[in-house]
Amino acid sequence: MRPRRAGGGGQDDHTHQPDFGFSAVTPRSDAEFEAERIGSPSRARRVDLRRTLYSFRHAGRGFAWAFTSQANLRVHFVAAAVVMVSAVVLRFSVIELVALVLCFSIVIAAELFNTTLEVLIDYAWPERHPMIGRAKDVAAAAVLVAAVGTAVVGVLLFARHLFFHLS
Q: Which residues are catalytic?
A: 111
| Number of CB atoms found within 10 A of residue 126's CB | 8
The amino acid sitting at 100 is: L
Sign of the torsion formed by the C-alpha atoms of 83, 85, 87 and 90: negative
Asked if residue 76 lies in contact with residue 84, where contact means CB atoms within 8 angstroms, the answer is: no
Query: Mapping DSSP to helix (H, G, I), strand (E, B) and coil, where does residue 3 land?
Result: coil
